[in-house]
Amino acid sequence: MIEPIKILGVPVHPMTMQEAVTALEERMQADMQTFVVTANAEIIMMCQEDAGYNQIISHEAELVLPDGAGAVWAGRHLGYKVPERVAGFDLYNQLLALSAKKGYKAYFFGGSPGVAEAAKAKSEELYPGVNIVGCHNGYFTDADVPRIIEEINNSGAEMLFVALGAPKQEKWILAHRQELKPRILMGIGGSFDVLAGKMERAPKWMQDASLEWAFRLYKQPSRFMRMMALPRFALKVMFSSK
């Protein structure tokens, strides 16, 4: 695994998308469990304000990738070589394509009722042969968790995608990773909603121009206070050092 860089004290692996997919497949084949986090500016700022979450991202996750133009800019501003953004949604899709090609089994956990199933149906349309072996929505109680874990493990899934939103999804993964059998454990936020067509993603030109945050804010004005993390992140990076 490539050595991580540090952005505001958070380790981030400056990999390309293909390097990330290759590393994950190699670790999966070697029967090594990998806790994956795709860290954007908002997640890195959460780590500044939540010591427990910082502990998870900095010391428990094996692979932390630069998701978002902010993370890439920060790494480069600090003098590191960061080849490209590895967006969580795109990595999720790359791993679904790998499932279709190699037969790896995936399980979808999270989202509103019916969304994981809709994402499964869309995945099967986009990636013929994709092997999705189960779904469960994100509405559950603590009493439901043992049954959910049993269902995930009995499915034979090698990849578990958890869509509970940050930081809940990473905290859930850490709390239960010792019981979980899948080799890839990855939080993916709202990716089921995007894949299922419930939430629109920014046009490609806006993604390329690092304006995906503006599109999200336009579509979801309620995110305004969360988006305030971005200028605070930029200022913090500008006044920090390696």
Reported residue count of the chain is: 242
Q: Is residue 143 pLDDT above 90, yes or no?
A: yes
Residue 167 domain-assigned (yes or no): yes
Based on the domain organization, do 166 and 55 belong to the same domain? yes
Q: Give me the percent of the chain exceeding a pLDDT of 90.
A: 81
Asked if 149 and 112 sit in the same domain, the reply is yes
Q: Is the predicted pLDDT of residue 119 greater than 80, yes or no?
A: yes
Instruction: Tell me whether residue 10 is in a domain.
Output: yes
**Does residue 36 sit in the same domain as residue 67?**
yes
Is residue 240 in a domain?
A: no
Residue 31 lies in a domain: yes
120 & 222 share domain:
no
Does the pTM surpass 0.85? The reply is: yes
CATH of the domain at 55: 3.40.50
In a shared domain, residues 108 and 159: yes
Residue 195 half-sphere exposure toward CB, CA atoms < 13 A: 31
Q: 81 and 112 share a domain?
A: yes
Together in a domain, 98 and 128: yes
Q: Is the pLDDT of residue 154 over 90?
A: yes
Residue 215 has pLDDT above 70, yes or no: no
Cβ(86)–Cβ(17) below 8 Å: yes
Domain containing 57: what range? 5-195
Say whether both 210 and 119 belong to one domain: no
Residues 198-214: pLDDT tens digits? Answer: 866 667 776 775 556 55
Q: Is residue 238 in some structural domain?
A: no
Say yes or no: 133 and 34 in one domain.
Answer: yes
Residues 89 and 151 in one domain: yes
Domain membership flag for residue 241? no
Residue 213 is predicted with a pLDDT of 59
> Torsions phi, psi of 117, nearest 5?
-65, -40
Could you read off the pLDDT of 36-93 as tens digits, one per residue? 999 999 999 999 999 999 999 999 999 999 998 899 999 999 999 999 999 999 999 9
Does any domain span residue 239? no
What total of structural domains would you count in the chain? 2
Domain check: are 148 and 102 in the same one? yes
Asked if residue 217 and residue 169 are part of one domain, the reply reads: no
Name the residue type at position 115.
V
SS3 per residue for the chain? CCCCEEECCEEECCCCHHHHHHHHHHHHHCCCCEEEEEECHHHHHHHHHCHHHHHHHHHHCCEEEECCHHHHHHHHHCCCCCCCCCCHHHHHHHHHHHHHHHCCEEEEEECCCCHHHHHHHHHHHHCCCCEEEEEECCCCCHHHHHHHHHHHHHCCCCEEEEECCCCHHHHHHHHHCCCCCCCEEEECCCHHHHHCCCCCCCCHHHHHCCCHHHHHHHHCHHHHHHHCHHHHHHHHHHCCCC
Residue 227 located in a structural domain:
yes
